[in-house]
Amino acid sequence: MNRTQGLSPLALGLVLLTIFGSSDALAQRRGGGGGGGLASPIEFSVTYGSMWGGNLGTRFGTLRTATAPSLGFALDIPVQPTMAVELSYTRQDGAVDYDTRGSLTKLTDMSVNYWQIGAIRGLTDGKVRPFITTGLGLTYYSPSESTVIIEEETFNVTSSTRFSLVLGLGFKAYFGKAEKIGLRASIKTFPTLYNTSGGLWIGTGGASLGVTGNAIWQWEAAAGLTVKFGG
């Protein structure tokens, strides 16, 4: 679980808001600017892939989330011709390994669950449509064991829920004239925050809000089918 000092969700959110905010003007140009309704129906996607990463340094060694298959679901609700609100759930069923001097020992099986709400923005029109996606939500870690042993010491293990983000890049490729069914493929990163802190400062020069913390980074490459409903 790579440790990233000074990660600021607020700053990241402002950057993403700037990126996605430009889609409104783009949508107006493509849609004629006349409020012609939604350009796309609701889409539901199912993907299957591989998730890796998720390393956390400890005083003993490094805890590693083993690379394992992932299953994802996404519901895209259009709000502009090139923009949709995306609700997503991604699950990995894997294990946690203890790495000391390059030697791996399995500690416990564990599922990693991501619930996210965000936005997906199409970059071009046509049967093949690249997109970028971002969101925020929660990560739920669920180990199968209640205790683990590290260096002959026993530790209690419990489920944990953390705040997380998602950033992704991919494409959708639609089939047939109606374009009701297509292929969806993407690569995403999921930073889950821990040891976070924040503060609000108010002075004569104004006010500022800051959030910092470390992050556990996981990555996913996945592909599957997307289906349009309505429209």
Is residue 29's pLDDT more than 80? no
Is residue 34's pLDDT more than 50? no
In angstroms, what is the C-alpha Rg of the chain? Answer: 20
Strand residue runs (E) in 22-180: 42-53, 55-57, 62-65, 68-80, 83-100, 103-122, 128-143, 147-150, 153-156, 160-175
Q: What is the pLDDT of residue 16?
A: 53
> Are 154 and 169 contacting, i.e. CB atoms less than 8 angstroms apart?
no
Q: What is the pLDDT of residue 212?
A: 56
If you average pLDDT over every residue of the chain, what do you get? 81
pTM, full prediction: 0.78
Distances (CA, A) of 111 to 9, 16, 46, 68: 24, 29, 18, 10
134-178 tens-digit pLDDT:
999 999 999 999 898 887 888 888 999 999 999 999 999 999 888
DSSP 83: E
- Give the number of residues written for the chain: 231
> Are 183 and 223 contacting, i.e. CB atoms less than 8 angstroms apart?
yes
Q: What residue spans of 44-111 are helical by DSSP H?
A: none
Q: In terms of pLDDT, which residue wins out, 179 or 182? A: 182
In one letter, which amino acid is 25?
A
Is residue 40's pLDDT more than 70? no
144-152 long-range contacts, Cβ below 8 Å, gap at least 24?
A: 144/108, 144/109, 144/110, 145/107, 145/108, 145/109, 148/96, 148/107, 148/108, 149/107, 150/58, 150/60, 150/61, 150/98, 150/107, 151/60, 151/100
Q: What is the pLDDT of residue 21?
A: 56
44-64 tens-digit pLDDT:
999 999 999 998 877 777 889
> Are 69 and 95 contacting, i.e. CB atoms less than 8 angstroms apart?
no
DSSP 11: H
Q: What is the pLDDT of residue 27?
A: 44
Q: Which domains does the chain have, with CATH numbers?
A: 9-23+41-229 (2.40.160.20)
Q: What is the pLDDT of residue 117?
A: 97
87-146 tens-digit pLDDT:
999 999 999 999 887 788 899 999 999 999 999 999 988 889 999 999 999 999 999 998
